[in-house]
Amino acid sequence: MPESFIAFLGVLRWISLIIAVVLSGLCASVESSRADLYFESTVEVWCRPANPVSYRILRWKAPGTCSKDCFVWRLTCSNGKTQDGQSGIHPTTTKWQMALFNGAPWSFLLYLLPFVVYFGLAAIGAQLLEPLLALDGLVLTYATAAAWFFYAAVTGNPWGTTVWFEQAVFLNPYVYFSVVVLAVLLNLPAAWRGLDIIFFDHPPEIPPAPAAWPGDPVHAAAMRAVLMPSLHEFIDPGEVASHYRRETERVRALKKKFDADAALAQAVIRRNRARAVAPPE
DSSP H helices, 38-172, are: 40-47, 95-103, 106-124, 129-152, 163-165
If asked whether residues 57 and 151 sit together in one domain, one would say no
Q: Can you tell me the distance from the alpha carbon of 172 to that of 176, in angstroms, rounded to the nearest whole number?
A: 6
pTM comes to 0.57
Please give the Cα distance from 28 to 25 (Å, whole number).
5
Residue 161 falls within a domain, yes or no? yes
> Is the same domain home to 63 and 186?
no
Same domain, 60 and 125: no
Whether 24 and 43 share a structural domain: no
The answer to the question of residue 208 being in a domain is no
Quickly list DSSP for 194-244: HHHHHHS--PPP-PPPPP--TT-HHHHHHHHHHHSPPHHHHH-GGGSHHHH
Closest CA to 190 of 93, 119, 260: 119
Same domain, 173 and 46: no
Residue 235 is assigned to a structural domain of this protein:
no
Q: State how many domains the chain has.
A: 2
Residue 16 and residue 118 share a domain? yes
Quick check: is 13 in a domain?
yes
For residue 263, pLDDT beyond 70: yes
Does residue 248 lie in a domain region? no
H or E segment and range at residue 263? helix 241-277
End-to-end CA separation in angstroms for the chain: 86
Name the helix (H) or strand (E) containing 3: helix 3-29
Residue 268 lies in a domain: no
Name the more confident of 120 and 206: 120
State which of 199, 234, 267 marks the end of a domain: 199
Residue 183 included in any domain: yes
Q: Which domain holds residue 140?
A: 3-35+95-199
User: Residue 65 pLDDT > 60, yes or no?
Assistant: yes
Same domain, 17 and 140: yes
Same domain, 13 and 62: no
Q: What is the pLDDT of residues 128-142, one digit of tens each?
A: 889 999 999 999 999
Q: In terms of domains, do 186 and 55 share one?
A: no
My answer on whether 83 and 9 are in the same domain is no
Q: Is there a domain that residue 193 lies in?
A: yes
Question: Mind listing the pLDDT tens digit for each residue in 197-254?
Answer: 877 766 666 666 555 555 555 556 666 665 555 555 556 655 566 767 778 888 888 8
C-alpha 72/C-alpha 155 separation (Å) is 12
